[in-house]
């Protein structure tokens, strides 16, 4: 079976595909990527390190939701907060705003900010009817991102494990 992702890591295959694309489309080279899907890519090739961060994306959502001057937050959620089901009914506007905010932080959680994954998951459980506390906590989470926007994921090349993720096509062939 041929792994369709293997060509991403095979220089000869990549060069052949890049050559074809350059002949077919008007493009300006395949230089080192600095941005990918709102993720900044920083490198130190001599040290063999690569960092991924979403500083600009976080600044954008902070501004979008007018939380530039929100309360400082040193943790994603308050320690003793219980996000119980809303006994009342949120307005359609509150629901929409909450869904927008949770969606914004969810993107950061699944790409470069695993530190907010638990908080985001808890907040996402009330997308249909958030309470006032849910609305406060999603704002707190965005303020936490604002206050920790310089955190990055670092890859240092010390792991020697071969790429082993299975594609959906391969999974379908097995099962």
Spatial CA neighbour of 105 closest among 133, 67, 79, 160: 67
Q: What tens digit of pLDDT does each residue of 33-65 get?
A: 777 788 888 888 888 888 889 999 999 999 999
Instruction: Please answer whether residues 130 and 30 qualify as being in contact, where contact means their C-beta atoms are separated by less than 8 angstroms.
Output: no
More confident residue, 76 or 12: 76
**Phi/psi class of residue 90: alpha, beta or left (left: φ > 0; alpha: ψ in -120 to 50)?**
beta
Residue 159's pLDDT band, with cuts at 50, 70 and 90, is low
Does the pLDDT at position 163 exceed 80? no
Q: How far is CA 36 from CA 27, 129, 137, 142, 158, in A?
A: 17, 34, 29, 22, 23
pLDDT > 70 in the chain, percent:
83
Q: What tens digit of pLDDT does each residue of 101-136 get?
A: 999 999 999 998 999 999 999 999 999 999 999 999
Does the pLDDT at position 170 exceed 60? no
Spatial CA neighbour of 55 closest among 35, 73, 71: 35
Q: What tens digit of pLDDT does each residue of 59-116 get?
A: 999 999 999 999 999 999 888 888 888 888 989 999 999 999 999 999 999 998 999 9
Instruction: Please answer whether residues 142 and 61 qualify as being in contact, where contact means their C-beta atoms are separated by less than 8 angstroms.
Output: yes
Spatial CA neighbour of 141 closest among 116, 112, 109: 116
């Amino acid at each position: 079976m041929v792994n369709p992702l293997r060509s991403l890591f095979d220089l000869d295959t990549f060069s052949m595909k890049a050559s074809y694309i350059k002949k077919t489309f008007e493009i300006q080279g395949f230089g080192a990527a600095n941005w990918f899907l709102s993720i900044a890519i920083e490198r130190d090739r001599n040290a063999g390190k690569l960092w991924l961060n979403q500083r600009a994306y976080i600044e954008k959502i902070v501004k979008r939701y007018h939380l530039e001057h929100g309360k400082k937050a040193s943790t994603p959620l308050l320690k003793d907060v219980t996000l119980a089901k809303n006994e009342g009914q949120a307005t359609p506007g509150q629901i929409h705003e909450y869904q927008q905010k949770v969606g914004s932080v969810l993107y950061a959680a699944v790409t470069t900010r695993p530190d907010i994954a638990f908080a985001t998951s808890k907040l996402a459980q009330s997308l249909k009817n958030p309470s006032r506390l849910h609305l406060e906590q999603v704002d707190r989470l965005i303020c936490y991102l604002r206050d920790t926007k310089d955190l990055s994921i670092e890859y240092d090349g010390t792991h020697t494990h071969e790429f082993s993720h299975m594609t959906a096509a391969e999974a379908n062939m097995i099962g």
